[in-house]
Chain A
Amino acid sequence: KAGVTQTPRYLIKTRGQQVTLSCSPISGHRSVSWYQQTPGQGLQFLFEYFSETQRNKGNFPGRFSGRQFSNSRSEMNVSTLELGDSALYLCASSFGTQVGYGYTFGSGTRLTVV
């Protein structure tokens, strides 16, 4: 079966712009989580969605937002981009309601802000 698909794979944006990243979970998976991965901070939790509802949110500014659609696909948006937002953004999906249990990660979107 298809894995977790993230698009696009690479993005280059300018400071001040906004960006939207997409994540399609494994078929049947209803929980989608987003993580930011940087060399210095490792993997930091952004937020998690289940059945179109945000259930958990990490410690990121309000410029980071997300949503989930009825087909479980999820998008995250970053507005007013800063240089420090350059990172690999990973989404992970899981089948049940237990966040993190049996996560399957996507390949990520590498965002570069210049």
Chain B
Amino acid sequence: GENVEQHPSTLSVQEGDSAVIKCTYSDSASNYFPWYKQELGKRPQLIIDIRSNVGEKKDQRIAVTLNKTAKHFSLHITETQPEDSAVYFCAASKSFQKLVFGTGTRLLVSP
């Protein structure tokens, strides 16, 4: 079945730096790739998503890139702020049947 690997598991950056989280998926038929942010004790919230017919998508300080050939996609956060500190999950879906999640990246942004 589909498998999604996510790296790194923990990422510490200084405020203002950029952060990059990478995910690799196994099923080449996957066609939808969302990213979720989960703050401590709260629900996961969708922050950005991308479909397989698009190579890159941006939303203010957040961007996602997709390389279908290599079967990997990445989340880029620029000008990080302390409120960006959270656990970030990538996910992949084939034909919108279910989401398969990565194991999460704990991002810590220090002031």
Give the contacting residue for A108; candidates B43, B102, B103; CB below 8 A.
B43
Please classify how large the interface on chain A is, using the bins under 10, 10 to 19, 20 to 34, 35 or more: 20 to 34
Contact (Cβ within 8 A) B103 A107: no
**Given the interface contacts A48-B98, A99-B99, A103-B34, does A43 sit within 8 Å of B89 by beta carbon?**
yes
Contact (Cβ within 8 A) B89 A42: yes
Interface string of B29-53 (1 = CB under 8 A from A): 0001010100000111110010000
Give the contacting residue for A106; candidates B34, B43, B91, B93; CB below 8 A.
B43
Q: Once the chains are docked, how many angstroms separate the CA of A110 from the CA of B8?
A: 26
Interface string of A92-104 (1 = CB under 8 A from B): 0000011111111
Measured CB to CB, the nearest residue on chain B to A105 is B43
**Given the interface contacts A33-B98, A100-B99, does A105 sit within 8 Å of B93 by beta carbon?**
no
Contact (Cβ within 8 A) A90 B43: yes
Contact (Cβ within 8 A) A56 B97: yes
Contact (Cβ within 8 A) B96 A99: yes
With A45-B100, A102-B46 already in contact, 14 other A-B pairs whose C-beta atoms are closer than 8 Å: A33-B98, A33-B99, A42-B101, A43-B89, A43-B91, A59-B1, A98-B32, A99-B97, A99-B98, A100-B32, A100-B99, A104-B46, A105-B45, A108-B43
Q: Which residues of B contact A (CB under 8 A)?
A: 1, 32, 34, 36, 42-46, 49, 89, 91, 93, 96-104
